[in-house]
Chain A
Amino acid sequence: MAAYARPTSLREALAALAEGPAVPLAGGTDLYPARVGRPPPERVLDLSAVAELRGVTQDADSIRIGAAVTWTELIESGLPDWCRALADAAGEIGGPQIQNRGTLAGNVCNASPAADGVPCLLALDARIEIDGRRTLPIAEFVLGSRRTALAAGEIVSAILLPKPRQAARSAFLKLGARKYLVISIAMVAGAVELAEDGSVAAARIAVGACGPVAQRLPALERRLVGGRLDPDLVRAEDFAALAPIDDMRGSAVYRRDAAMTLVRRLIGKLRDPG
């Protein structure tokens, strides 16, 4: 393949990749910053014009977010309220320049521990569509820091959000050391389905930047189901499986402590969406 290709169909994109290794490129907001002072990759496969990767569509079962859809397009696509976590996260990614260019798919493929999209997708039980052919649950897609289940020559074609079968809500909260343009010290996302009587029918609560990959909190989720959305249900041991690190942005102790505060507030926000 040439040094730079910008195919317009998925078939052409896959064919180009079959010719030899190339680095996929969507918005470039992770790719270029990783190469300051260095030339661009030798072979680039620009996915931004691939028709099948564009647009937010839906069918009876799910919402499909094309891999080339930017954060701004996501915000402007009018996502339903149960996707609020994702819309809120989109509005807090970097600044407008980054939202106008960066994609949710790129965020997931880049697999940074601090990727704001990932906990949202865990909470929304998303599936990652690969090459338009197969899908994987998000938890099986992001395998570690900067590691995904993509094999060489594969690309993500879309992200699928299954539609809840009953009333549902979601929310996202991010903690950073300044107002804008900030990498999360920790972030949390949650989604709940509510039974007719207002009790919690299903809950998924995820925490990011507190380990190599964002994680759900199964013990807390079980405790929430069947009852009310009560922040006091959150316990310190719910966070035992997290593996936060000490870095410039905060200590491991702090991250664990902050994650607990954020999850409590998240549950409050899910209860009173405002």
Chain B
Amino acid sequence: MSAPVSLTVNGRTVTLATASAARLSEALRHELGLTGTKIGCDAGDCGACTVLLDGRQVCACLVPVGQAAGRSVVTVEGLDDQGLRAAFLRHGAAQCGICTPGMLMAASDLLRRVPRPDEQQIEAALSGVLCRCTGYRKIVAAVLDARRASPAGDVETKAMGARRPRIDGLAKVEGREAFGADAVPKDALWLRAIRSPHHHARFEIGAWTPPAGVVRVLTARDVPGRNGFGIYPDIKDQPVLAEGVARYRGEPVLALLGERAALRAVDESAIPIRWTPLPHLHDPAAASAPGAALLHADRPGNLLTEGKLARGDAEAALAAAVHRAAVEIETGFVEHAYIEPEAGWAVRRGDRIEVTVSTQTPYMDRDEVAGVLGIAPEQVRIVPSACGGGFGGKLDQSVQPLIAIAAWLTKMPVAWVYDRPESMAATTKRHPARIQARMGCDADGRLVGFAFEGTFNTGAYASWGPTVAGRVPVHAAGPYRVPAASARARAIFTHLAPAGAFRGFGVPQAAIAHEMLIDDLALASGIDRLEFRRRNALRPDDLTVTGQALGPSAGLVACLNALEPHWRAALERARPGRGVGIGCMVYGIGNTAMSNPSTMRIGLAADGRLTLYSGAVDIGQGSNTVLAQIAAEALGVPADRIRLVAGDTDLTADAGKTSASRQTFVSGKACELAARDLRARLARLANASPEARIALGAGIAVEEGGRRTALDLGHLAPDRNGDALAGEGRFDPPTEPLDANGQGAPYASYAFAAQMAEVAVDRDLGTVKVLRMVAAHDVGRAVNPTLVEGQIEGGIAQGLGLALMEEWWPGQADNLHDYLIPTVGDVPPIETVLIESPEPLGPFGAKGVGEPGLVPTAPAILGAVRHATGVRPKRVPLTPARLRALIAGRSS
């Protein structure tokens, strides 16, 4: 034992029992309970743990407790800078909020020394903190603005269209928000998984007496219910713990329960697992070749699923085309890299289990946990913690099944927090794609035909593979009028981490291909690239490639028109080494040709308190705020009247998953309906019409035609939530199934966008600097423009990563210094233009924006690089080495 260390933390003198060689972050979080300091990597890479040590920003995960002796530590809880916090709220600088404490501390270090910093100083000061949600620009703007007194009357009272600060924002900027790892009970057991070091291996577990402090070892045999989970009701192919065969590097085979420190100290090589490595298949071409060994006996050809589309005779149309283009493009594994690794804890209460977890999908978690425990879904309660970023990655099971099983069996609370390497190695990724596509147009530059063949590497288990294979063919031709099209997308099993859901479900990969083709054809027909797109853009009432007639909300032409002046100016500036590119997209909101309802409830208590019970989880994108704004608008009350209960499966109704950009559109509509229902019920009590005004001030009143009726709800028996009156709304967007040729009406609403990128390329080194982005998005109606911009900017940052730097490969990039995501210095200024072409089905005309922000970005950047250099990528990310090779005319 080392001598106890004394220091000041947030102005208070404390003496720590934590070992002197341990990380300061450990002492802050686990001994002092200061969980505002976040852990994203324990390796200095993410900066989420940034605190001030004697006034200077440091990573608490890299400071030994002993070096803090006699010094002053300030954490977000002790940050004395209300101006900075207020600026973060005002600018929407916190989305999920997991990076926010680190950003605030880094900014405060700067502001103490430089009260009025410029943008460059701010970027340098924040450069050690990664944010995966915002694209950084709003954070930089907030710091620039931190010393401005918050102007009076800044907060708008209107609900719809207002730039309201997030309803859950204050907790985020004060470091009080509880994420998956932040509220673990003190008496919890911890869990550690032992994972396969091989891509494919048979294994046997021998007898083992674990060291002191490890209280229990779990194997596949301990799973009480079904040892399998998966997104689709009929595909539960992923085991909680592998049974005799591991199919990817990182697959869990054993779980240890015990004290945290004891688990850490376990030497894996001492555990008697006898591995017999087996040949592995990584390349989908090899895995789908005749005679290839099967990952799953019931999946011939290692084919998980195949999605198809055929409209007209694409081959004949291509043969008759005046100009034809063809591309072959390959994309890599992309990791979600949310700054909050998977985390949660479970506790058994009698014959029920309660799981608190960072998730995008509480109701699916509930059903999966029930399945692996062999109990009824009603016996499971999922309580979503704040979610420190999801992007699709938290639409799968991670900690849930094992912590639930462990808590069920031991009757003790059990917690599990992935470390970064585990999160990178074992969780889902964006599907690597290999795409071959062709497109043709007539002499006037009108598209006549399109053909697409995509192979998606789906890894070892199904996860969301079928969704990707289903969505891609429908989107493969892009946002264009294409009379004849054929498309096929296959998802192939390999011995790699499962590829799952990631912002866009395969569409971003496909968009790279269709936008390259469009650029080719524009070039071949001598038409300006923007003009070519406008000529072919889908417009209201047009038929899509699935034969669906679009409704009135199809604003791509308006998006392109908005870009045009920027485009012309950028073309003027272009020269060798500096280029401009453009990307367009269409995105179907909600599940593909499948029912995906949402139910929302709003309650009114006798004392006038309004509560929105929302099963939709806010993963940083802002649905909590948006739904409250919609509810307020529909009720006709100020938005700040709405209190929120979110996610808890015992207290809310199923709103479906936070995926497919659907919560604003689907849950938003359900919310509007719930509000209208409540309003009508109130009005009825006052014998007024459903349009009567609700007045909540001193008491509850209904006003109509100059008549005011005060209502006393005290005589109504309160329901189990304590509400006197409640409204409910359910919305399931109308879709039609797709036939064998992929024809039908798969989505009720479509979002459109066009983005433009300007880049500078260092042609000798192959490096690309994105100088500026302009993004025009048709969002139907911007419920909260700040949040919409935040989604677009964050999507652009991820699209930039996809285009230029992000690529994961097992064992080679299981951390955030080999796997590179954009830093504050990589995301350029972004100008957003919001096009509002109201969606009749959506709440007050709104549709979705969560994924669309990312889809057109990589195509725009890659097009700009091509404009600057004349080379077209064969593989993304277009890393400096790959780009340089293309420029120098080398093959790799």
Q: How far is the CA of A94 from the CA of B43 in the complex (A)?
A: 12
Closest to B818 in A: A248
A228 at interface (Cβ–Cβ under 8 A)? no
A250: B residues at CB distance < 8 A: 879-881
User: Does B822 reach chain A (CB closer than 8 Å)?
Assistant: yes
Does A140 lie at the interface of the complex (its beta carbon under 8 Å from any beta carbon of B)?
no
- Among A2, A33, A175, the most chain B Cβ lie within 10 Å of the Cβ of A33
Secondary structure dominating the interface of B: loop
B128 is contacted by which of A28, A95, A249 (Cβ under 8 Å)?
A95
> In the complex, A128→B822 CA distance in Å?
36
Indicate if the CB atoms of B890 and A253 lie closer than 8 Å: yes
A29 within 8 A of B: yes
Contacts A3-B20, A97-B57, A177-B880 given; does A37 touch B823 at CB 8 Å: no
In the complex, the number of residue pairs spanning A and B with C-beta atoms less than 8 Å apart equals 176
In the bound complex, what is the Cα–Cα distance between A95 and B826 (angstroms)?
14
Q: How far apart sit A36 and B662, CA to CA, in the bound complex (Å)?
A: 37
Instruction: Tell me if A183 and B817 are in contact (CB < 8 A).
Output: yes
Instruction: Tell me if B421 and A96 are in contact (CB < 8 A).
Output: no
A151 to B881, CA, bound (A): 38
State whether B62 touches A254 (Cβ < 8 A). Answer: no
Given contacts A4-B2, A95-B127, contact A178 B106 (CB under 8 A): no
> Is B569 among interface residues, defined by CB-CB distance under 8 A?
no
Selected interface stretch from B526-534, B541-549, B762-770, B866-874: B762-770
Please determine whether A248 and B64 come into contact, CB atoms closer than 8 angstroms.
no
Q: Which residue of A lies closest to B42 (CB)?
A: A36
Given the complex, which residues of A lie within 8 Å of B62, measured CB to CB?
27-29, 32-33, 97, 101
Contact indicator A251/B826 (Cβ below 8 Å):
no
A46: chain B residues at CB < 8 Å are 20-21, 64, 66-67
In the bound complex, what is the Cα–Cα distance between A94 and B817 (angstroms)?
10
Q: CA separation between A215 and B862, bound complex, in Å?
A: 36
Tally of B interface residues using CB under 8 Å: 68
Interface residues of A in 34-81 (CB under 8 A from B): 36-41, 44, 46, 48, 72
What is the CB-to-nearest-CB distance from B663 to chain A, in angstroms, rounded to a whole number?
31
B1-37 with Cβ < 8 A to chain A: 1-2, 19-23
Interface string of B802-825 (1 = CB under 8 A from A): 001101010011010110101111
Which residues of the other chain, A, contact B817 by a CB distance below 8 angstroms?
33, 181, 183
Q: Which residues of B contact A41 (CB under 8 A)?
A: 21
- Chain A binding site: helix, strand, loop or mixed by DSSP? loop
Nearest B-chain residue to A33, judged by Cβ: B43
CA distance A28 to B63 in the complex (A): 7
- B824 close to A180 (CB less than 8 A): yes
Q: Check: B124 CB closer than 8 A to any chain A CB.
A: yes
| Residue in A36, A183, A249 whose CB lies within 8 Å of B41 | A36
CB atoms of B825 and A180 under 8 A apart:
yes
| B47 pairs with A261, CB closer than 8 A | no
Known A-B contacts A178-B826, A254-B766; the reply to A101 vs B21 at CB < 8 A is no
- Whether B880 contacts A254 by the Cβ 8 Å rule is yes
Instruction: Give the chain A neighbours of B422 by CB distance below 8 A.
Output: 37
Does the CB pair A32–B43 fall under 8 Å? yes
B804 surroundings in chain A (CB, below 8 A): 177
Q: Is A245 an interface residue (CB 8 A)?
A: no
Whether the pair B63, A39 counts as a contact (CB closer than 8 A) is: no
| Inter-subunit contact B884/A258 (CB<8 Å) | yes
Q: Bound complex: CA of A33 vs CA of B40, how far in Å?
A: 12
Q: What chain A residues lie within 8 Å of B261 (beta carbons)?
A: 39
CB distance from A160 to the nearest CB of B (A): 26
Q: A37-B42, A175-B880, A183-B817 are in contact. Are A96 and B127 (CB under 8 A)?
A: yes
Cα separation A8 to B479 with both chains bound (whole Å): 68
Question: How many Å from the CB of B799 to the closest CB on chain A?
Answer: 15
In the complex the two chains form, is B128's CB within 8 Å of A94's CB? yes
B892 is an interface residue with CB less than 8 A from chain A: yes
Q: Given A32-B62, A97-B128: A181 and B21 within 8 A (CB)?
A: no
Instruction: Name A32's closest neighbour in chain B (CB-CB).
Output: B62
Indicate the size class of the contact surface on chain A: 35 or more
User: What residues of chain B lie closer than 8 Å to A3, measured between beta carbons?
Assistant: 1-2, 19-21
Given contacts A4-B21, A97-B50, A253-B885, contact A261 B764 (CB under 8 A): yes
Chain A residues with Cβ under 8 A from B43's Cβ?
Answer: 32-33, 36
Q: Within the complex, which residue of A4, A38, A100, A177 is in contact with B879, where a contact is CB–CB below 8 Å?
A: A177
B365 close to A (CB within 8 Å): no
B223: Cβ under 8 A from any A Cβ = no
Q: Which residues of B, 57-71, contact A by the 8 Å Cβ criterion?
A: 57-59, 61-64, 66-67, 69
Q: Does B573 reach chain A (CB closer than 8 Å)?
A: no
Indicate if B746 sits at the interface (CB-CB under 8 A). Answer: no
Determine if B44 is an interface residue (Cβ-Cβ < 8 Å): yes
B45 located at the interface, meaning its Cβ lies under 8 Å from any Cβ of chain A in the complex:
yes
Given A32-B61, A251-B881, A179 and B2 contact (CB-CB distance below 8 Å): no
Chain A CB within 8 A of B888 CB: yes
Contacts of B129 in A (CB 8 A): 95
Q: How far is the CA of A253 from the CA of B886 in the complex (A)?
A: 13
> CA A237 – CA B19 in complex, angstroms?
54
A230 at the binding interface (Cβ < 8 Å):
no
Cα A48 to Cα B70 in complex, Å, equals 14
Q: Are B884 and A33 in contact (CB under 8 A)?
A: no
Assembled-state Cα–Cα distance A39/B265 (Å): 6
A12 within 8 A of B: no
**Chain A residues with Cβ under 8 A from B64's Cβ?**
4, 25, 28, 40, 44, 46
Cα-based distance from A41 to B23 in the complex (angstroms)? 12
Is A178's CB under 8 angstroms from B805's CB?
Answer: yes
Cβ-defined contact, A36 with B421, below 8 A: yes
In the bound assembly, the distance between CA atoms of A53 and B50 in angstroms comes to 26
A186 to B815, CA, bound (A): 20
Does B264 contact A38, Cβ atoms closer than 8 Å?
A: yes
B767 and A175 contact, CB distance less than 8 A: yes
Cβ–Cβ < 8 Å partners of B879 in chain A:
177, 249-250
A3 to B66, CA, bound (A): 11
Query: Could you tell me the distance between the alpha carbons of A15 and B22 in the complex, rounded to whole angstroms?
Result: 23
B177 on interface, CB distance cutoff 8 Å: no
Which A residue's beta carbon lies closest to that of B801? A178
Which chain B residues lie closer than 8 Å to A36 at the CB level? 41-43, 419-421, 815
Question: How far is B824's CA from A65's CA once the two chains are assembled, in angstroms?
Answer: 31
Which positions 479-526 of chain B face chain A at CB distance < 8 Å?
none
A105-130: CB near B (< 8 Å → 1, else 0) gives: 00000000000000000000000000
Instruction: Compute how far the CA of A52 lies from the CA of B884 in the bound complex, rounded to whole angstroms.
Output: 47
Interface centre among A72, A95, A101 (most CB of B within 10 A): A95
Q: Is the CB of A181 within 8 A of B823?
A: yes
- Chain B CB within 10 A, most for which of A46, A183, A248: A248
B56 at the interface (CB under 8 A from A): yes
B881 and A40 within 8 A (CB): no
B66 to chain A: which residues have CB within 8 Å?
4, 6, 44, 46
Residues of B within 8 A of A94 (CB): 44, 128
B606-621 vs A, Cβ < 8 Å mask (1 yes, 0 no): 0000000000000000
Q: Bits for B847-881, please: 1 = Cβ < 8 Å to A, else 0.
A: 00000000000000000000000000000000111
Smallest CB-CB separation from A264: which chain B residue? B764
For window 88-133 of B, CB contacts with A under 8 Å fall at 106, 109, 124-125, 127-130
Cα–Cα distance between A253 and B124 once the two chains are bound (Å): 32
For residue A183, which residue of chain B has the nearest CB? B817
User: Which of chain B's residues have a CB closer than 8 A to the CB of A175?
Assistant: 765, 767, 880
Q: Which residues on B sit within 8 Å (CB–CB) of A253?
A: 885, 890, 892
Interface centre among A40, A177, A182, A262 (most CB of B within 10 A): A177
Q: Which of B67, B813, B820, B880 contacts A258 (CB 8 A)?
A: B880
Q: Assuming A33-B42, A248-B809, A250-B880, what are 4 further A-B pairs, CB within 8 angstroms?
A: A4-B20, A33-B62, A46-B67, A261-B764
By Cβ-Cβ distance, the 4 closest A-B pairs, closest first, are A95-B128, A179-B825, A180-B127, A33-B43
A contact residues vs B (CB 8 Å cutoff): 2-4, 6, 25, 27-29, 32-33, 36-41, 44, 46, 48, 72, 94-98, 100-101, 175, 177-183, 185, 247-251, 253-254, 257-258, 261-262
Interface CB pairs A-B, < 8 A, 9: A32-B62, A33-B44, A33-B62, A33-B815, A40-B21, A46-B21, A101-B62, A179-B825, A181-B127
